[in-house]
Amino acid sequence: STGYQLKMRVWRGDADSGALGDYAVEVSEGEVVLDALHRLQATQAGDLAIRWNCKAGKCGSCSAEINGKPRLLCMTRLSDFDPAETITVTPMRAFPVIRDLVTDVSYNYEKARELPGVELGPRDADGKRRMMQVDVERGQEFRKCIECFLCQDTCHVVRDHDDNKPAFAGPRFFLRYAELDMHPLDIRDRRDTARDAAGIGLCNITKCCTEVCPEGIKITDNAIIPMKERVADRKHDPLVWLGNKIGLR
Ligand code: SF4
Ligand code: F3S
Ligand code: FES
């Protein structure tokens, strides 16, 4: 048969203390890591805390780390690993643990709240608003984000540096900055906020965020770099500089 005993190490604990627990779980080849954790929960560890909803890679809830790499538990196949290998599952490292594999991701919601929303320009003479399809499509890739926060967990600027969090919105929100900036009817200028409040300058384009994105969004190339260029334009735009100098802006 294709069933086997999977050796798993799973982090168990809470905000105060914890440790890796060793388990052996009956699994089948076609299963994913979340299946194995659910069987562990059903047979040996009834109080194991895991966050999940869709089991289809769409809700963004089951984010954790597998052998130290940020992954969705429901999209990581057991067949990616040698059956003899021990699979280690730990909570996302960049966020405070609540219990077991569940972390407190409220940092991300705080960053979302700080982001200036859409500001619509004036209507056309007939009272309508019009967008060209080609302009609508520009931001389409960014709207695939499932808010799993794996990119946020990966980024070295905050991963082991809680002290950078107040000054850094993170890749998921640079994506949102870029998306709103490309909205065809939006007239708000977000360049100062992206630089000052969101700290886009702290990103040094390591692209680790892009590598872990389960939606395959080109976060760095398509959102962060264009946003960085827009911010730099503002800084070096001679008219803005002159405006600042003579106190008109
Ligand atoms: Fe997850 Fe990708 Fe969205 Fe980041 S950009 S939160 S990795 S889906
Ligand atoms: Fe971090 Fe991505 Fe930039 S991992 S440093 S936000 S390219
Ligand atoms: Fe929804 Fe994994 S359970 S993304």
Write down the ipTM of this complex: 0.99
Cα–ligand 1 centroid distance for 148 (angstroms): 6
Q: Which ligand is nearest to the CA of 53?
A: 3
Question: Does the beta carbon of 74 sit less than 6 angstroms from any atom of ligand 3?
Answer: yes
Q: Which residues of 19-55 are buried (b: 16+ CB within 10 A; e: fewer)?
A: eebebebebeeebbbbbbbbbbbeeebeebebbbeeb
Tens digits of residue pLDDT in 122-152 = 999 999 999 999 998 988 999 999 999 999 9
Mean pLDDT on 220-241: 80
Single-letter amino acid code for the residue at 216:
G
pLDDT of residue 1: 53
pLDDT exceeds cutoff 80 at 234: no
The best mutation among 158, 211, 220 to test binding of ligand 2, ranked by most ligand atoms within 8 Å of the C-beta, falls on: 220
Q: Is the dihedral of CA 46, 50, 51, 54 positive or negative?
A: negative
pTM (two decimals): 0.92
- For 102, phi and psi rounded to 5 degrees? -100, 125
Instruction: Give the mutation target among 62, 92, 213 for probing the ligand 3 site: most ligand atoms within 8 A of CB.
Output: 62
Q: How far apart, in whole angstroms, are the C-alpha atoms of residue 180 and residue 118?
A: 6
pLDDT band at 2 (very low <50, low <70, confident <90, very high): confident
pLDDT band at 233 (very low <50, low <70, confident <90, very high): confident
